[in-house]
A and B are shown apart, each in its own frame.
Chain A
Amino acid sequence: MQIKNQLIRGTLVIILIAFLGYQHPISNEQSIALPSSVLLPIQNQPTIDYEVLYENNTITIGDMKQDSIWERVTSWVVSEFGIFGMMQLYRDQRYINGLFTFTEDIEWVGVQIGESSDLECMENGSDGWIFGESPRYPIAYNGDIWFEGQEIPHSDLVNDISYERLASGDQGMIEFRRLLVTNDSSGRDVQFESGSTHLLLFASAASHAAERESIVILISNDTLPDQLTSSPALTSFHEENVEDTVTTIFFVSIFLGSLLGTIILFDKRHLLE
């Protein structure tokens, strides 16, 4: 009987300690918004979601390996590219350099680029980049494309994009670069001048519904940091997941602990016989 009493008291004390000891994971820190919370439509001054920073160093295309510079470039989570979905961009003197990371078995990934906040999906005359082959239409895209409404996108007559497709485990990657200013009017190319803002709309073979999130990028003159300790996009994902995990485990512990305590209490009082 004494053991049972101690057991019941012990359970109650554990539940009490768990309640008192629990602290909200980021309650004392500044809350970090998810990237998806910064959405369009935007007002007169567009909210910049992503800055394309400067570095006087172009990536090497054709070496079939991922350039080390990407360790210093902020990642933007792109859900359309699958569970590994990520975009990284930076610029140098002549080129805009990019890395798309996606789930390896996705046949194609792409982005539509626009100037205005009311960019429609596959808007007629808008610019874009698509890499890969559509399983629906036997067309391979090598980067530079333009849209003619809901028609199958056209490859530019002049492909201003160089790229290589890489793979690491289950991750596929497209490392690419394009001239900042191409002056390719037939390809409806967007010109990335310093200080200009552009709208990006992502799609892939796995996800290309009409309603998708878009982001605003700024072609900046600021330079890349020497070292990227943690990417803002990944940090916010990380914080949110840690918070979810800790909260779930905490409440399950409380629930099951209370249930066990109640059963022992009922048993002690012979209520379940």
Chain B
Amino acid sequence: MTALHAPAVLFHTGAWVVATIITILAFWLNFLTKRNITSVSDEFIDKLDFSAHICAIVGTIGVILAGLTGLLDIAGAPLLFSLDDLSRGWDNSMKNDLLAYKVTWSIVALQCYAFAGGLRIYYSEFKSERIFDQHATIQAIYTEAMALGSVFLVMVVAAGGIYAHGESIIENTFLRGFLPTYAEQSVEVIALLGGLLALTLFLISFWPEAPREAVRK
């Protein structure tokens, strides 16, 4: 199974990073349009949102497949596996700090996506409303949840790089603070991401939307 985990991670990481970038773009275009800085149609925002939605579905399936192949890889199990193989994969992973980190933060990333998905389902399925028609705070939390999930997934892939090759290109970026080998620098990353969220919420609080009829589309 060793050969399957490495390509499997590319799909979900790529899909989720694209979904996050598109969502951030949609959030800011929508934000600025509702304040009359840009003029983008609701249809365009919906197209972006739909693309992100499809990428997210591909990403979710990919994460689950990559998690399975990863556990089987470390268990040395065949493609036709049993629950015992998965359990052995979990046990073996927990014996190694780096693999335990990968398991933990993969699940946390999925939790972030599940949260964003929960918000989306609530508004679109139960209320039949667009997520980008909601209060900007809701949109910001939705976007941030996806962004955080993607950051965690990228970190998990980077930890995989360190496990397999002893190093990762992420070690040269500010995000390295999330890697277990640079734990002492984690405050910088948390401060930066937290600061960005705080700045967004600050902007939302003090910059009200233009009246609906005045918005140019």
Taking Cβ atoms with an 8 Å cutoff, the residues of A that contact B are: 3-4, 7, 82-84, 103, 105, 170, 234, 237-238, 241-242, 244-245, 248-249, 252-253, 256, 259-260, 263-264, 267, 272-273
Contact = CB atoms under 8 A, between A and B. Distances in A.
The 9 closest A-B pairs by CB, nearest first: A241-B100, A272-B135, A256-B115, A245-B104, A241-B94, A238-B94, A105-B166, A252-B111, A234-B95
Which of B98, B118, B119 has the most C-beta atoms of chain A within 10 angstroms of its own C-beta? B118
Contacts of B165: 170
Interface string B2-35: 0000000000000000000000000000000000
Contacts of B134: 267, 272
Contacts of B162: 83
A137 to B, nearest CB: 22
B64 interface: no
Given A3-B126, A263-B119, 9 more contacts: A83-B97, A237-B95, A245-B94, A249-B108, A256-B112, A256-B145, A260-B122, A267-B134, A272-B135
17 contacts: A7-B126, A170-B164, A237-B96, A237-B97, A241-B94, A241-B95, A245-B104, A252-B111, A252-B112, A256-B145, A259-B141, A260-B115, A260-B119, A263-B141, A267-B122, A272-B135, A272-B138
A245 B108 CA distance: 10
B115 A272 contact: no
Contacts of A248: 104, 108
Contacts of A263: 119, 138, 141
Interface string B167-193: 000000000000000000000000000
A34 to B, nearest CB: 11
Interface residues on B, range: 20 to 34
Please report whether the interface of chain B is mostly helix, strand, loop or mixed according to DSSP. Answer: helix
B118 A260 contact: yes
Contacts of B98: 83
A253 B111 contact: yes
A245 B100 contact: yes
B107 interface: yes
A237 B94 CA distance: 7
B87 to A, nearest CB: 12
Nearest to B181: A83
A62 to B, nearest CB: 27
A59 to B, nearest CB: 24
Contacts of B166: 82, 103, 105, 170
Contact of B122 (A83, A245, A264): A264
A259 B118 CA distance: 11
B141 A249 contact: no
Contacts of B164: 170
A245 B95 contact: no
B91 interface: yes
Interface in B90-138: 91, 94-98, 100, 103-104, 107-108, 111-112, 114-115, 118-119, 122, 126, 134-135, 137-138
A244 B104 contact: yes
Contacts of B119: 260, 263
A237 B96 CA distance: 8
Contacts of B141: 259, 263
B22 to A, nearest CB: 22
Contacts of B115: 256, 259-260
A170 B163 CA distance: 8
A102 to B, nearest CB: 11
A84 B119 CA distance: 41
Contacts of B138: 263, 267, 272
A83 B162 CA distance: 9
A262 to B, nearest CB: 10
A244 B100 contact: yes
B197 to A, nearest CB: 13
Contacts of B100: 241-242, 244-245
A249 B111 contact: yes
Contacts of B97: 83, 237, 241
A243 to B, nearest CB: 10
Contacts of A237: 94-97
Contacts of A256: 111-112, 114-115, 145
A48 to B, nearest CB: 23
